Structure 1
């Protein structure tokens, strides 16, 4: 193997060091983007001493030729050096980069930077961003560069639509998933809470920090935790339950305690259940996930029972198990029409159900196989990704 010298750095080596220090190191990159780390960048090429050059003339000549042929000669600083055997030689001593544009051209990262800045620029141009907030908002977005990088163009538009709709106290009396948002689902807000909070804090002059966080600023109700959550969605039913707006019962109690409503709506996830609107003579039981053992309760056989879960193989399998206990159960929003409406919001589902559910209807079973075959854009539509207005319109038809 040829000896690797520590002097006479070649362009590929220098560019590798540059990429690691100035691009992969996001702290340094953010400081460059914010003009907190000034140009020029200077990198020594480690010019050889007279002895080093004499010991390895081959590397010396390769060093000289590589920088002579370098594609950006204007960035290379040369000096005259005196060598005993080689006499006076003009050698490359330093690579100097004077701007962000030169840096990205050298590293081949122009498109990546352009994508970031296009997203940030599109946000800053929104009518709800006032001139006095521009500079600070730019800084905030740069500080969240890693998250911005992960957004698709569609997700970035959702973020803009989300921020535009958020207003102080708009969640008064509501749980997070019941926020009246249009075109954006509340799970997207939940998944992007930190960035949303940081942006709103700039746009509303630190009100979010002073309030103790975004959810406090929105005045959303805290989500109950533990057991199965019961929410009467009809005033008459609520009155029969002592006026309680929401409470929790254990599986054992629910098995024995008949809920005083004609319609029982079982919702897999708690937040989606809490977001259900007014429905006559109805109670929502939510947050049980796979816990459906209580649904063997005898009193349920005399009720109208509805089930709403994620549209994926796991959710349809739970629906099948529910129908085994309650043959007359009706599925809500677990159909092809809902999938087609929201398939841009679908995510992947790892394989977990390997046998065909036995108690699905023909349409439900077809949907199960279509999801497994990835007939749609992906294999899982979580119920939290369905918009509030769609849920309300659907339930109004009951």
Structure 2
């Protein structure tokens, strides 16, 4: 063994610090477990090493002198003494005999005291959270500055009916939406522990606190405009989805589009409205049962995402017809082709054979890798002709 492989004092501290960082030492203390002395073997010089590397061996032995390590108990062993070699007593193992020695050795006494103070206070105010703290002490220390506010926030949420309030309405001193957003990861862990199962939507992501813990969420809005005569004093409306569900605009035809300018520039169509889908927000259409009773057209980009949205809409409304999402339209606008950065999932089940064939060609790069034709790049004359064919 070379001198470089002999265990140095700082290596022992580093090994202990890694275990401290994992939280195991503080968790044991918080859980009331008695301290068990920690022993660590040392790699040191052999008798041959002491003979051939005397100066290094002497320096190593001195580095482990007991007076240099008041918080360690050093257990010695003898090397040499056979075949005429000299006998030497060196450090063979070190022991930490108490938690206080361990805290001092790692210079974490202030952190330990801080944790215990937070734990004691939480045990008084919210005993169930104190149990969580004992298992996750390092997370508590990471959020020590805001801990009391976090506990009060969790208690407030636990004591109020979330269906009637927004996250914005949490009434805890020093807590606002920015605080909640900044601490949403730790709040999710605490709420998962503190709330009953019926208060948690396990399918909602932990970073969406409103959805996961059943708070009121921002309403979904649907924007529509009349393409013919409007029965209202407005040509365009933005309405809450749940309210629009119970009110029919009184038209025979509905066009769903993804691009705002295209939506705004559609020419007049009698007895029709246009709905702005805005990407996968087209899923909001499921809230509108009266779409079952109209001629429904979906017009999106000619790319894999466009067909994925069409598939989604048609999954709820099987009578949906695609508009300007065909091979002829794609090939007629070659000079306007663009590139789709990432492709949508495959395995779509609600496309017509012609649509499915074109979707597969886009995925395979039959014309160009990651090809897309955005709807706003389609000539307005082609749009007018398509709508004229619809009127006919």
TM-score, normalised via structure 2 length: 0.47
* Greater Rg by CA: 2
Higher relative contact order (CA 8 A, sep 6+): 1
TM-score, normalised via structure 1 length: 0.46
